[in-house]
Amino acid sequence: MAYWIKIDYDRRKYLIDLDSITAFSCQPNNRITFWLPNSSEPIILNKQGSEESYSLVLEYIKKKIHITDQVEDNWWVRIIYDRHEWFIDLNCISTFACELNGRITFWLPDSTKDIIINPQSNPESYQKILEFVNKVTGYSLP
């Protein structure tokens, strides 16, 4: 099911299906970043510059996370990493790497950004990633 929005950004009008976005980064200064599908081009929204677009995307994220809490096979995860709050659809991640110390690294599909998570800093998200990997691949990490 598509969730289309129309936003003005960088002197262009975009029609974006938010259901096709694989990750959102929310920063403490009220900025939301996401990457256009099949592109490494980021869209960076803030309240001051584009309040309506910012609000639409923020409501979508809240709705997605609320649904995730209620649906077992919805694999959106919330991670605090690098002073950002990330919301990531694990179904879109194609590679996971695990270090001997237990840290897990994965790469966001529509950007060049890697995410590194360890069990001490994000225990709930870390566990959800382990469950996802085991359920989807049949393999276990660490």
Fold topology of 4-136: OB fold (Dihydrolipoamide Acetyltransferase, E2P) (2.40.50)
Domain ranges in the chain are 4-136
Q: Could you tell me the sign of the dihedral formed by the alpha carbons of 63, 66, 72, 78, in that order?
A: positive
Cβ-contact 105, 118 below 8 angstroms: no
Q: What's the pLDDT at 49?
A: 84
Give, for 133, the enclosing helix (H) or strand (E): helix 123-137
Q: What is the pLDDT along the chain (142 residues), one digit of tens a residue?
A: 678 999 988 888 999 999 999 899 998 888 999 999 888 889 999 988 888 999 999 999 888 776 545 445 678 888 988 888 999 999 999 999 999 999 999 998 878 789 999 999 889 999 999 999 999 999 988 7
pTM score:
0.80
DSSP assignment, residue 10? T
Q: What's the pLDDT at 113?
A: 85
